[in-house]
C-alpha cells in the first residue's frame, strides 16, 4: 500500500490490527482511487478468516444470507465468522443494512464497508456505532508517482512492455490524477498500449503522449455528493472570511461541477444579509440584483454576475448583528414570558377602543426635533431582560 500513513503507519491501530489479524468492523471512507478496495485486498491476503466480497449495486439481502450460512457452517469454516467486504455500501438501502446488523453484532460478520459518501449520512447509525470509521485521503503526487513507478517495474504490471518514460513525465501523470491512482494507472496503461514500439524494442512515452492519454484534470466536486456540502461550506466561509480569491475559487469549482447557478446566487444573498448586514446594507441589494440577473441571463454569462456578487460580499465590511438579533429575539419569544405590547403603541382602529387605553399617550416621532422621541416600545418584561440587539 502507498499513502494513507495517517491510518496505515506502523504505529497506527489499523496497521496493527491487520497484521495481528484482529480486525473489527471498519468503514473505509474516501474519494475514488484512494485505495479502499486495495486495502480490502491486503486484508483478504493477510487474514485467516474466510473473506467474501460483494458489491452493493448488484447484491441484496439474499447474498448476505448466503455469506452468513457459509460462515456459520463449522465444517467449512471452523471459526464460525468471516470478513465481508461491501463495496459502495452507501448504495445499500435501509432494509439491506438492517439485515447485516445482527450478524455484525454477534461477530459472525466482520464488516469492511467502502464508500465515497459520508457514512454518517449514508450508513445505518447502528452499523456506524459498531464500526471504526477510517477516512482515506486522496494520495499526494509522490505516492501516485511511486505507484506508477512500481507498475512499470512489476512483472504483474507493465514491465514486459519495455517502457521508457522520464520521471518528469511520470510526475505529470501523477499530478493530473488529483490523487486518484486508478485514473493515473489507466492513463499510463492507455499511453503504453496505444504507442508503437521503436526500432530498439522500446515504447517511448513523451509528454505529448501522456497528455493525450490521461483524462482531463477532473474537478473533485459532485453536486449530488458529500463534496457538494464541503464546497458550498467553503464558498460561504470564504465570503464570510473576506477572502475574495478563495470565494471565486470555490465558486468556480461549483460551476465546473454543474451546480445550479440560482442555488449559488441564493447563497450569496444569504451571506450578504447574515455576514455583511448593517456594515454595508447595499450588499443585500447587490446580491439580490445579481440573483435576478442570473435568473434572466442564465449560463454561461451568469458566471460573471455570480463572481461580481461574491467578490462584493467577500470584500465588504462584516457585521452579523441582524442575524444575532433575530435569533435572540426568536429565542426570547419562544422561551420567555415576554409580556404584553405597551398600550400606547397598540392599534386603535375602531371608535371606542381609545377609551380602554389603546394608543393613548403615543408620541408621534415626527412631531419632535430630529424625528426622535423617548418612549417605551418594549413590553415591561423585556425591559427587565434588557435585550438590546446591538449593531
The CATH number of whichever domain residue 19 belongs to comes to 3.40.50.300
Q: Look at residues 178, 213, 248 and tell me which one is the last residue of a structural domain.
A: 213
* Domain boundary pick from 284, 315, 346: 315
Return the pLDDT at 378: 86
Judgement on whether residues 15 and 106 belong to the same structural domain of the protein: yes
195 and 103 within one domain = no
Instruction: Identify whether 325 is part of a domain.
Output: no
Q: Looking at residue 311, which CATH number applies to its domain?
A: 1.20.272.10
Does 115 share its domain with 34?
Answer: yes
Does residue 34 belong to any structural domain of this protein?
yes
Contact between residue 299 and residue 293 where contact means Cβ atoms under 8 Å apart: no
The pLDDT of residue 279 is: 95
> Structural domain tally of the chain?
4
Stated pTM of the model: 0.65
Q: Is 48 domain-assigned?
A: yes
Show the CA angle centred on residue 197, arms to residues 194 and 201, nearest 5°.
150
pLDDT tens per residue, range 14-55? 888 888 888 889 999 988 889 999 999 999 888 888 899 999
Q: CATH number, domain at 193? A: 1.10.8.60
Q: Is residue 221 part of a domain?
A: no
How high is the pLDDT of residue 19? Answer: 87
What's the pLDDT at 391? 41
φ/ψ (deg, to 5) at 111: -85, 135
- Averages of pLDDT over runs of 10 residues in the chain (391 residues) are 87 88 90 90 89 89 90 84 91 88 91 90 89 91 93 89 91 87 90 88 90 67 66 94 96 89 96 96 96 93 96 96 88 83 78 72 89 88 62 41
Same domain, 150 and 34: no
Please check whether residues 306 and 362 belong to one and the same domain. no
Whether 32 and 107 map to the same domain: the answer is: yes
pLDDT at 215: 65
Output the pLDDT for position 143. Answer: 92
- The answer to whether residue 219 is domain-embedded is no
Q: In terms of domains, do 257 and 341 share one? A: no
**204: containing domain:** 141-213
What is 131-148 written as a DSSP string? SEEEE--PPPHHHHHHHH
Strand 50-55: give its sheet, edge to edge.
Answer: 50-55, 82-87, 109-115, 26-29, 132-135
The reply to whether 103 and 50 lie within a common domain is yes
Amino acid at each position: 500500500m502507498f499513502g494513507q500513513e495517517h491510518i496505515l503507519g506502523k504505529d497506527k491501530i489499523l496497521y496493527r490490527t491487520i497484521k495481528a489479524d484482529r480486525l473489527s468492523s471498519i468503514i473505509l471512507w474516501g474519494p475514488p482511487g484512494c485505495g479502499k478496495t486495495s486495502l480490502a485486498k491486503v486484508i483478504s491476503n493477510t487474514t485467516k478468516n474466510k473473506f467474501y466480497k460483494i458489491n452493493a449495486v448488484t447484491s441484496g439481502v439474499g447474498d448476505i444470507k448466503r455469506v452468513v450460512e457459509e460462515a456459520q457452517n463449522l465444517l467449512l469454516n471452523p471459526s464460525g465468522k468471516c470478513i465481508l467486504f461491501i463495496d459502495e455500501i452507501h448504495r445499500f438501502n435501509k432494509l439491506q443494512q438492517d439485515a447485516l446488523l445482527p450478524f455484525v453484532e454477534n461477530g459472525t460478520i466482520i464488516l469492511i464497508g467502502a464508500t465515497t459518501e459520508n457514512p454518517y449520512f449514508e450508513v445505518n447509525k447502528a452499523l456506524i456505532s459498531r464500526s471504526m470509521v477510517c477516512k482515506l485521503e486522496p494520495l499526494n503526487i509522490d505516492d501516485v508517482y511511486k505507484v506508477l513507478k512500481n507498475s512499470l517495474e512489476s512483472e504483474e504490471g507493465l514491465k514486459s512492455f519495455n517502457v521508457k518514460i522520464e520521471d518528469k513525465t511520470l510526475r505529470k501523470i501523477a499530478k493530473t490524477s488529483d490523487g486518484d491512482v486508478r485514473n493515473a494507472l489507466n492513463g499510463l496503461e492507455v499511453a503504453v498500449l496505444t504507442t508503437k514500439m521503436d526500432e530498439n524494442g522500446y515504447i517511448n512515452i513523451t509528454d505529448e503522449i501522456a497528455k493525450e492519454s490521461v483524462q482531463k484534470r477532473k474537478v473533485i466536486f459532485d453536486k449530488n455528493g458529500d463534496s457538494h456540502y464541503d464546497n458550498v461550506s467553503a464558498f460561504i466561509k470564504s465570503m464570510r472570511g473576506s477572502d475574495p480569491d478563495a470565494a471565486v475559487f470555490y465558486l468556480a469549482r461549483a460551476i465546473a461541477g454543474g451546480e445550479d447557478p440560482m442555488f449559488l446566487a441564493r447563497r450569496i444573498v444569504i451571506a450578504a444579509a447574515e455576514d455583511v448586514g448593517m456594515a454595508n446594507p447595499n450588499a443585500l441589494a447587490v446580491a439580490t440584483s445579481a440573483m435576478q440577473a442570473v435568473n434572466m441571463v442564465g449560463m454561461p454569462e451568469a458566471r460573471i454576475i455570480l463572481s461580481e456578487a461574491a467578490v462584493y460580499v467577500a470584500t465588504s465590511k462584516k457585521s452579523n448583528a441582524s442575524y444575532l438579533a433575530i435569533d435572540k429575539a426568536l429565542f426570547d419569544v419562544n422561551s420567555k414570558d415576554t409580556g404584553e405590547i405597551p398600550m400606547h403603541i397598540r392599534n386603535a382602529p375602531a371608535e371606542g377602543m381609545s377609551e380602554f387605553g389603546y394608543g393613548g399617550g403615543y408620541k408621534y416621532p415626527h412631531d419632535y426635533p430630529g424625528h426622535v422621541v423617548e418612549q417605551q416600545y418594549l413590553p415591561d418584561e423585556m425591559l427587565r431582560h434588557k435585550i438590546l440587539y446591538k449593531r
